[in-house]
């Protein structure tokens, strides 16, 4: 059975981009695969942060994930910093990752442009990510589209490490070289149909660090205050202008939250100018409510019982530490330690 690994940064609240691009998929996949999900707090510190805020957000992220349907009886949920082997493997990988591969990562370029002084952690972010995944020798990684390039790098790292340190199998390959064991699998991304959700400004991807999000646990009033002014089809200026649903961010959210017959109706009313954008947004808000009400209710229950969350994270970390130790011991031995 394949093992799944995926992570999310506690750098802000879990938003509907994270939910639609990744977490909703995790909830489904946990029943089909051995699944490990991680709150990646060592990744979150690559951008400036407040320590007290980090503590709060780490817990809040775990609450949001559990409320969204991650079930610690079915899968494993843990916090990255509770398993120190992540940084040990990341260091090993740092020593073999080509600098050029890191410098050409789109996320590195974007994040470093927004900083006055660029920390090496932003550059090495995908190396830690490769370590997160490969520590559990996971071969499937359910993520949003923004992570596809990082996963390509994970495959480069796995391949390179295997070719340098994998045990010799004794067989000779067609090119005359000796075959090595594939100790680390080459992990593949698993995308959802909503692989890239744009922010409410309609310009950049929805992201915790961009302030253009709707958090999963916001109240209906907060959600409406954000949906109301959200960017729609830019060519639809007057109420009577017919719209083009395919270019509208709100329509894409309908496709994620509304039933198919509503999506069809929305598209028709937009194209014929039967509805204005506000009418369309009201229907979206209702569809979102249907999905978010039970999530909010579970979050309130969990918030009232922090020990339930802490217990789930502690047993998740214990489980992961055991797997991580085995991988690290095997890797150390092969690398000459």
Catalytic residues: 111, 205, 208
Q: How many residues at the interface with ligand ADP, by CB under 6 A?
A: 19
Distance between CA atoms of residues 174 and 191, nearest Å: 34
Window 178-207: contact mask with ligand ADP (x via CB under 6 A): -----------------xxx-------xxx
Interaction residues for ligand ADP, span 206-225 (CB under 6 A): 206-209
Distance between CA atoms of residues 243 and 136, nearest Å: 48
DSSP string for 128-187: HHHHHHHTTT--EEE--GGGHHHHHHHHHHHHHHHHHHSPEEEEEPTTSPEEE---S---
Compare residues 197 and 331 and give the one whose CB is closer to ligand ADP. 197
Distance between CA atoms of residues 59 and 204, nearest Å: 27
Compare residues 160 and 252 and give the one whose CB is closer to ligand ADP. 252
Q: Is 3 exposed, middle or buried (0-12, 13-18, 19+ CB in 10 A)?
A: middle
Compare residues 203 and 271 and give the one whose CB is closer to ligand ADP. 203
Interaction residues for ligand ADP, span 117-156 (CB under 6 A): 143-144, 146-147
Closest CA relative to residue 296, chosen from 33, 3, 19: 19
Closest CA relative to residue 160, chosen from 183, 137, 144: 183
Q: How far is the CB of 146 from ligand ADP (least distance, A)?
A: 5
Compare residues 146 and 326 and give the one whose CB is closer to ligand ADP. 146
Q: How far is the CB of 49 from ligand ADP (least distance, A)?
A: 12
Per rule CB under 6 A, is residue 72 in the interface with ligand ADP? no
Name the one range near ligand ADP by CB under 6 A: 3-11, 68-76, 131-139, 259-267: 3-11
Residues engaged in binding ligand ADP (CB under 6 A)? 8-9, 11, 17-18, 21-22, 143-144, 146-147, 195-197, 205-209
């Amino acid at each position: 059975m394949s093992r799944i690994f995926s992570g999310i940064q506690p750098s802000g609240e879990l938003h509907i981009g994270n939910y639609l691009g990744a977490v909703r998929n995790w909830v489904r996949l946990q029943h089909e695969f051995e699944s490990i999900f991680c709150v990646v707090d060592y990744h979150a510190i690559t951008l400036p942060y407040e320590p007290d805020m980090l503590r709060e957000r780490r817990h809040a992220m775990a609450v949001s994930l559990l409320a969204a349907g991650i079930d610690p009886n079915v899968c494993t949920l843990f916090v990255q910093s509770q398993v120190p082997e992540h940084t040990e493997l990341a260091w090993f990988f740092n020593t073999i990752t080509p600098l050029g591969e890191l410098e050409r990562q789109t996320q590195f370029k974007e994040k470093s442009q927004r900083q006055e002084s660029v920390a090496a952690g932003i550059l090495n972010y995908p190396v830690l990510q490769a370590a997160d995944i490969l520590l559990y020798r996971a071969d499937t990684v359910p993520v949003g589209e923004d992570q596809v390039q990082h996963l390509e790098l994970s495959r480069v790292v796995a391949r390179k490490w295997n070719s340098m340190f994998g045990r010799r199998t004794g067989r000779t390959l067609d090119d005359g070289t000796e075959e090595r064991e594939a100790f680390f699998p080459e992990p593949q991304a698993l995308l959802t149909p909503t692989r890239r959700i744009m922010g409410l400004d309609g310009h950049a991807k929805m992201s915790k660090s961009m302030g253009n999000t709707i958090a999963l646990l916001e109240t209906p009033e907060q959600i409406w205050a954000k949906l109301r002014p959200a960017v729609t089809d830019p060519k639809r200026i007057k109420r009577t202008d017919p719209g083009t649903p395919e270019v509208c961010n709100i329509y894409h959210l309908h496709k994620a939250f509304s039933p198919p017959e509503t999506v069809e109706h929305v598209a028709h009313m937009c194209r014929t100018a039967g509805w204005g954008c506000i009418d369309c947004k009201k229907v979206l808000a209702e569809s979102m409510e249907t999905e978010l009400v039970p999530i909010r209710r579970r979050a309130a229950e969990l918030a009232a019982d922090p020990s339930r969350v802490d217990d789930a994270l502690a047993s998740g970390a214990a489980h992961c530490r055991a797997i991580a130790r085995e991988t690290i011991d095997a890797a150390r031995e092969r690398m000459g330690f």
